[in-house]
Amino acid sequence: MKKYYALEVKNKEADIYIFGDIVDPTVKDFWGIDADVSGYSLAQEVKDLDVDVINVHINSYGGVVSEGLAIYNTLKNHKAKIRTIVDGFACSAASVIFMAGDERLMNDASLLMIHQAWTYASGNADDLRKTADDLDKITQGSIEAYKTHVNISEEKLKELMKAETWILPSEAVEWGFATGIFSTPKTDKAAASAQKALFSMVANRMNAQSIQIDAEKVAALILEHIKAELAVPSAPLLVAEPPIEEPAEPTAERSEEPQESKTLNLLFAL
């Protein structure tokens, strides 16, 4: 049977991947389609885990509310620290599971979606009214899960659910659904890499002209050039250079500046 989740355990930490619909195995009898695995089966595996941390990775459009609530409560009641992570979408029942985390993280390119419970119904007017009342109570179960962490009012929460709201990571943190956002690390390695590429470009260009160059010596020359510029007393930062008078017509003695000199001048300018 195909599972909508995977479980990996290493040392005292477990990783659960919920990458699919959260379904009820009895759905097959009604719809004639294959159900994956029930919330009960996953809950049983989670309950027996002897670990310190459980990471729950989520990418799911959701599914059956009862199954989502069962997984949510099993995670909440486990002795381990629960860390839930949205790797794509956490919609509907999957967003409820997300709320089970002591630490709730979203990737910077991920989304939550919350909405009211819905179903198909048939029958007379009394049957339909009862179904509507039942749905209000089922929705309230999800609301209670959200309320354990969100910092917005229940009225605001209900408005968001009624509007079937997609929630950005920044909004999730602001409203208390999430505790943090995974972001691409920012380091200075790119600048170092660019410097290396620049020296390589100069070396390649000069080697093509059979000119020997030492990258370290070039770097030292640049540093000396900068220090010399900074050492000029009382020199303002921005000074217009006096115009250089050019001869009206080029003379035979004048020759074009060597290519390697142009390259070094460009390097100094950088």
Closest CA to 15 of 50, 51, 56, 69: 56
pLDDT band of 25, cuts 50, 70, 90: low
User: Which of the following is catalytic: 38, 57, 60, 115?
Assistant: 115
Query: What contacts 24+ positions apart, CB below 8 Å, involve 213-218?
Result: 218/264, 218/267
pLDDT at 255 exceeding the cut of 50: no
Q: What are φ and ψ of residue 136, in 5° steps?
A: -60, -40
Tokens 């048939």 sit on residue: 122
Q: What tokens appear for 136 in the block?
A: 């209000």
Closest CA to 166 of 204, 115, 214, 200: 115
255 is catalytic: no
Mean pLDDT of 88-108: 96
CA distances to 39, 47, 85, 185 from 50, rounded to whole Å, are 19, 8, 20, 32
pLDDT band of 27, cuts 50, 70, 90: low
pLDDT band of 115, cuts 50, 70, 90: very high
User: Which of the following is catalytic: 92, 95, 110, 142?
Assistant: 92
- Name the pairing type of β-strands 111-114 and 165-167: antiparallel
pLDDT at 258 exceeding the cut of 70: no
* Stronger pLDDT, 210 or 52, i.e. the higher one: 52
With vertex at residue 74, the alpha carbon angle to CA 69 and CA 75, rounded to the nearest 5 degrees, is 100
Pick from 145-159, 178-192, 219-233: least confident = 219-233
Q: How far apart are CA 15 and CA 253, in angstroms?
A: 76
* Stronger pLDDT, 62 or 178, i.e. the higher one: 178
Q: What tokens appear for 129 in the block?
A: 């009214």
91, HSE (Cβ side, Cα atoms, 13 Å): 13
DSSP 22-46: B--TTHHHHH-S-----HHHHHHHH
CA distances to 24, 25, 131, 237 from 31, rounded to whole Å, are 11, 11, 20, 76
Pick from 19-33, 108-122, 207-221: least confident = 207-221
Mean pLDDT of 162-182: 96
Q: For residue 42, what pLDDT is reported?
A: 77
Please state, rounded to an integer, the average pLDDT across all residues of the chain: 76
C-beta separation of 68 from 96 below 8 A: yes
Closest CA to 65 of 1, 4, 6, 143: 143
115 is catalytic: yes
Domains of the chain: residue spans and CATH: 5-182 (3.90.226.10), 188-231+256-270 (no CATH)
pLDDT at 28 exceeding the cut of 60: no
Q: Cβ of 121: how many Cβ atoms within 10 Å?
A: 12
Q: How far apart are CA 77 and CA 72, in angstroms?
A: 9
Q: Cβ of 8: how many Cβ atoms within 10 Å?
A: 10
Strand partners, 113: 91, 166
